[in-house]
């Protein structure tokens, strides 16, 4: 997956790096907005709550943007634009999928670490699915669990390698993240496309 992502990144590295730079600027802006609100409920419960909600929504919009960019870069790299970072239509579905999967993973880690890791791998494509297929949050969670069946170990290694890749990018004076972040997004997106295609093919054979 990472080799495929690197090969896909190289011919279009200028656009990928540019989009990632804009994404990082968005993250900095979100941090500045968060700084306008109290950091703790004790400093003003209502303003803290408003700040938390605003920051969460803005963070969700930026994450949707990067996932939308990764999908477009994967499927039609010649058509990628910086404007692909703005895709607000799946916002509420994305938030729902993020919250549901977050709660499930958190419960898994509270019970035992291993169930939490399994849940994380099962549901790792849920947010991509609400963007790509406009599924509801619950349907996206179910579909993510379906297409990851039988590939959890491989996905765990992918997550570990992606984390190490971005660690190397951070160690390269943070500038390396302009390369490792888009490559990571492309690798995960390619894994999603590959496993979804395989799962659909298996389902067709079973129906036949």
Question: Residues 28, 20: contact at Cβ < 8 Å?
Answer: no
Question: Residues 95, 60: contact at Cβ < 8 Å?
Answer: yes
Q: In this structure, what DSSP letter does residue 90 have? A: T
Over residues 101-160, the pLDDT tens digits come to: 999 999 999 988 899 999 999 999 999 999 999 999 999 999 999 999 999 999 999 999
Q: What is the pLDDT of residue 191?
A: 98
CA distance 156 to 176: 23
Whose CA is closest to 51, among 64, 66, 32?
A: 32
CA distance 109 to 48: 27
User: pLDDT tens per residue, the chain (208 residues)?
Assistant: 999 999 999 999 999 999 999 999 999 999 999 999 998 888 888 999 999 999 999 999 999 999 999 999 999 999 998 999 999 999 999 999 999 999 999 999 998 889 999 999 999 999 999 999 999 999 999 999 999 999 999 999 999 999 999 999 999 888 999 999 999 999 999 999 999 999 999 888 887 7
Whose CA is closest to 91, among 52, 56, 122, 142?
A: 56
Length reported for the chain: 208
Question: Residues 131, 90: contact at Cβ < 8 Å?
Answer: yes
> φ and ψ at 22, to 5 degrees?
-65, -40
Per the rule left: phi > 0, alpha: psi between -120 and 50, beta: everything else, 112 is beta
Q: What is the pLDDT of residue 17?
A: 96
């Amino acid at each position: 997956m990472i080799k495929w992502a690197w090969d896909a990144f190289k011919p279009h590295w200028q656009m990928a790096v540019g989009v990632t730079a804009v994404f990082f600027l968005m993250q900095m802006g979100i941090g500045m907005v968060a700084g306008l609100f109290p950091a703790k409920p004790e400093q003003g419960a209502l303003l803290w709550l408003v700040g938390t909600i605003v920051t969460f929504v803005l963070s969700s919009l930026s994450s949707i943007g990067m996932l939308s960019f990764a999908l477009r870069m994967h499927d039609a790299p010649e058509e990628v634009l910086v404007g692909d970072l703005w895709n607000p239509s799946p916002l509420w579905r994305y938030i729902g999928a993020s919250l549901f999967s977050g709660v499930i993973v958190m419960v898994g880690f509270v019970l035992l670490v291993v169930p939490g890791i399994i849940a994380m791998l099962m549901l790792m494509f849920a947010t991509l699915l609400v963007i790509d297929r406009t599924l509801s949050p619950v349907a996206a969670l179910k579909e993510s669990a379906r297409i990851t069946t039988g590939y959890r170990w491989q996905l765990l290694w992918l997550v570990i390698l992606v984390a190490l890749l971005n660690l190397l990018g951070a160690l390269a004076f943070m500038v390396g993240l302009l390369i490792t972040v888009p490559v990571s997004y492309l690798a995960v997106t390619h894994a999603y496309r590959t496993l979804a295609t395989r799962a659909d093919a298996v389902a067709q054979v079973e129906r036949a």
